[in-house]
Amino acid sequence: MEILYGNAVIGQSGGPTAAINATLSGVIRGAMAHKEIGKVYGAVNGIVGLLEERLTLLDPQFADEEAFHALECTPAAALGSCRKKLPDPDKDPSIYEKLFAIFAKYDIRYFFYIGGNDSMDTVAKLYAYAAAHNYPLRVMGVPKTIDNDVMGTDHTPGYGSAAKYVAVSVQEMMRDCAVYAVPAVTVVEIMGRDAGWLTAAAGILSRYHGAAPDAVYLPERVFSYEQFERDLRSALARHPNVVIAVSEGIRLADGTYVGEGTQSGATDVFGHKYLSGAGKTLELWIKEKIGCKVRSVELNILQRCASHVASRTDIEESVLVGRSAVDYAVRGVTGKMMCFIRTSDKPYTVDIGAVDITQAANNVRCVPDHFINAAGNGITDACIDYILPLCEGELNPIYRHGMPVHFVIDKNVTVPGAKG
Amino acid sequence: MEILYGNAVIGQSGGPTAAINATLSGVIRGAMAHKEIGKVYGAVNGIVGLLEERLTLLDPQFADEEAFHALECTPAAALGSCRKKLPDPDKDPSIYEKLFAIFAKYDIRYFFYIGGNDSMDTVAKLYAYAAAHNYPLRVMGVPKTIDNDVMGTDHTPGYGSAAKYVAVSVQEMMRDCAVYAVPAVTVVEIMGRDAGWLTAAAGILSRYHGAAPDAVYLPERVFSYEQFERDLRSALARHPNVVIAVSEGIRLADGTYVGEGTQSGATDVFGHKYLSGAGKTLELWIKEKIGCKVRSVELNILQRCASHVASRTDIEESVLVGRSAVDYAVRGVTGKMMCFIRTSDKPYTVDIGAVDITQAANNVRCVPDHFINAAGNGITDACIDYILPLCEGELNPIYRHGMPVHFVIDKNVTVPGAKG
């Protein structure tokens, strides 16, 4: 292995999660620990900020364990994020020339990118460009997404915390809904456009907690109003307080999203078509067809940033996988995405590894068939076995004056030669 | 004081909170501790269940401290709730005759009712009826509501936890919204039809946490789109990620709810008028008038049942006020509502007392003028001083397999003579 001395830059990309800063913390910890790495830069707003030389020095900001712990308990992307897909380098090399000039200017030899599918595409392209141009840059991707839909890893950092938030919230809402004796349906809409992993998390409550939703609908199965009506009426015959979990991405047989239904007829005061979600659409449908009391709840962005109820397993693994990415890179690995390899469900054990970045980029990993019940309205025991350990354990975030303390990264720590 | 021996019944009424079971726990603790009280009954679904003799024995279900602690960490109303206003006893005495026959049958001498404004009306009527008919029944109300709008008390059990949930969630969403550099507005709709207490809680973040909403609109002030537009443009000029907190109950100068705006034009696929909230209405308005990226988030029912992030101050006070209600009743007090009397903001100190039930029933306590800033788009320091201590402290709920453990009351513990 060739020893490579130089500076490191870390970027965050894509949608926020409760764990993306834990991975950032792990990468900073790793980068500060290895003598091969000098300065540790953060790219503000990911690759977009890097292109504008918006770099901030991170290592001076992490003087003690308390700072790392606070960062690990802070939701979203402390460095800021972006959504940008790099062009094909053959068609538009200029953006790569610019990026690699910045790498050279700052003596950057290590690039760590924390993100989802699209971000892994960025890692793949930078790796390929560096290899083709013989630029000594080690490029590592670390996955993150609440959607859990990245290929090449057992699960993604961020999923466990989001899944825990979903299950904890659904459990609480079921207690809430159970107080009245009047028949009522509550539809909970959960994130996940193409993959139902997060919605499936609502189903884990049935194992130990006795307050599981009556039905769980994932985008991996065609949604049918006929079955929905049967499921609803059967649940209402059993008890008055029915709770349904649906993925935002459920679709009808013709491929249209359930949420699109409401658009067709509804316009707002300005005459614009009214975009509503799957939950609201089903609420209106139930009001019309069943006629009972009905409400829809959209978990919305809280499910991706609720650090106050993060999974300890998720956060600890997220730190570890970030730290391991640095270990791998220093040992000479490049062009890989870090991954989890589960070795056992009971007890839950997991190894950390790295897969070829091209295996991960631009693909979506859906909930497999054996995790969904035959009726398509719930999850199987195997699915619960898979999800449960990822939600295990509670963090102890630092609270001050009743609120969790968040770590705010100074995005303007002076870097010689940097703008701003 | 006359010593009164007999059984007790406890009921819960109105909307759920994260603290109503803590008060229930306090009442059960108190009733089990006093030798004057024999059996401790729970009325399932409040006064409605009581009328149907749906009683369950509580004291055998609370054998140890763990059971009490789990109940205190369980959201909503473990006995079930109801929404029922008792008729005027002069016009319809039959319902009272039935209730008091049940009291006599079960030798009930103590009645504790945990609820909001309407429930205090029930307490007032039962007290008056007992007094008029010389029935030896001591009737005590214990307030609860996330709305904090009950007269005669400094604050209500349940408010502190809901306020904490609102502030914690808004803080996390502000981290989430801050990750992108594109101008965007997020409108958070918070419960409170007539009183803005809960929405005001979003404003406390400005004191210590550096991530407070740009504007906070309460129903105590007339909402004006002109001012809203000025506030928005001024905030967007300062930073790209604008967050606005609005009460569901904000109204225009003509008295109509802001949320009503969307109804007028919007219909769903069935041709029904589309009821949307204040947040969604403002989202559509911003899209039209400002044209930037915009999103609305409705905190919905989670804000009233999120026990996992309850305020320790709120839960401990809720237990204490329930326990004190029993102490008062055993000492001969009746026809009162328990209350908090704040003796100091810094340090926060509070006494427990009892006020005449007629003072509390059927009135609404709004946010006072000196808690709202002159522009009507934020809260004052005095308001922060008031709210902050109520959110202080964290509970340690019991978690098992990653989820909080809830206590489920057995609603069918055999009672001699009871139905079912």
Report helix, strand and coil shares of chain A as percent, to nearest 5: 40, 20, 40
Cβ neighbours of residue B310 closer than 8 Å, sequence gap 6 or more: B18, B19, B73, B161, B164, B165, B395, B397
Select from B267, B302, B307 the Cβ nearest to the Cβ of A265. Answer: B267
| Spatial separation of the C-alpha atoms in residues B202 and B232, rounded to whole Å | 17
Kindly tell me if the per-residue pLDDT of A417 is higher than 70.
no
Amino acid (1-letter code) at residue B311 = S
Q: What is the mean pLDDT of residues A149-176?
A: 97
| C-alpha distance from B365 to closest chain A C-alpha (Å) | 25
pTM over 0.90: yes
Measured between CB atoms, which of A82, A268, A301 is closest to B284? A268
Q: Which residues pair with A251 in a beta bridge?
A: A257
Answer yes or no: do A168 and B311 touch at CB < 8 A: no
**AA identity, residue A359:** Q
Residue with tokens 């759920």: B16
**Residue B89 DSSP code:** T
**Percentage of chain B surpassing pLDDT 70?**
94
Is there a contact between A307 and A18 (Cβ–Cβ < 8 Å)?
Answer: yes
With contact defined as beta carbons under 8 Å apart, do B20 and B317 qualify?
no
**Mean pLDDT, to the nearest integer, of B394-401?**
92
Average pLDDT, chain A: 93
- CB-CB under 8 Å, B392 with A176: no
Q: Which of A224-238, A359-373, B215-229 has the lowest mean pLDDT?
A: A359-373
Q: Which two tokens stand for residue B24?
A: 């229930």
Nearest CA to CA, how far is A13 from chain B (Å)? 9
Mean pLDDT of A339-347: 96
| A268 C-beta neighbours (distance < 10 Å), count | 24
- The alpha-carbon gap from A330 to the nearest alpha carbon of chain B, in Å, equals 29
Q: How many CB atoms lie within 10 A of CB B183?
A: 17
Question: What is the three-class DSSP state of A399?
Answer: strand
Q: Return the percentage of chain A with pLDDT > 70, whole number.
A: 95
Q: Which residues of A are catalytic?
A: 147
The mean per-residue pLDDT over the stretch B331-355 comes to 97
The backbone torsions φ and ψ at residue B111, rounded to the nearest 5 degrees and listed phi first, read: -125, 120
pLDDT tens, position by position, A95-143: 999 999 999 999 999 999 999 888 999 999 999 999 999 999 999 999 9
At B245-288, the pLDDT tens digits run: 999 999 999 999 998 755 444 555 555 555 568 999 999 999 99
Residue B269 CA to residue A306 CA, distance in Å, equals 34
CB contacts of B305 in chain A (<8 Å) are 172-173, 175-176
Ordered DSSP codes for A99-153: HHHHHHHTTEEEEEEEESHHHHHHHHHHHHHHHHTT---EEEEEE--TT---TTS
| Residue pLDDT, tens place only, B115-135 | 988 899 999 999 999 999 999
Tokens describing residue A68: 């790392």
Q: Which of A118, A110, A113, A116 is nearest to A141 (CA)?
A: A113
The three-class DSSP label of residue B259 is coil
Output Rg (C-alpha) for chain B, integer angstroms. 23
Q: B138-143 and B184-190 as β-strands: parallel, antiparallel, unpaired?
A: unpaired
Q: What is the DSSP letter of A377?
A: S
- Compute the distance between CA of residue A384 and CA of residue A201 in angstroms, rounded to an integer: 8
Looking at chain B, which residue has its C-alpha nearest residue A241?
A: B80
Among A267-276, A399-408, B297-306, B393-402, the minimum mean pLDDT is found in: A267-276
Q: How far is CA A291 from CA A234, A288, A294, A415, B266, in A?
A: 15, 6, 8, 64, 20
- Please answer yes or no on whether B181 and A80 come within 8 Å at the CB atom: yes
pLDDT at residue B389 is higher than 50: yes
Report pLDDT for A264.
43
Cβ pair B173:A302 closer than 8 A: yes
CB-based burial, B332-347: b 16+ in 10 Å, e otherwise = ebbbbbbbbeeeeeee
Contact A288 B307 (CB under 8 A): no
- Give me the residue from A205, A269, A402 closest to B393, CB to CB: A402
Neighbour count for residue A133 (Cβ, 10 Å): 13
CB B105 within 8 A of CB B319: no
Question: Could you tell me the two tokens for B399?
Answer: 């978690």
Tokens 């002159």, located at residue: B374
**Confidence tier at B210 by pLDDT (50, 70, 90):** confident
Segment B310-326 shows an average pLDDT of: 98
- pLDDT tens-place string over residues A246-279: 999 999 999 999 987 554 445 555 555 555 689 9
**CA A270 from centre of chain:** 35
Q: Which amino acid is at B192?
A: G
Quick one: pLDDT at residue A114?
97
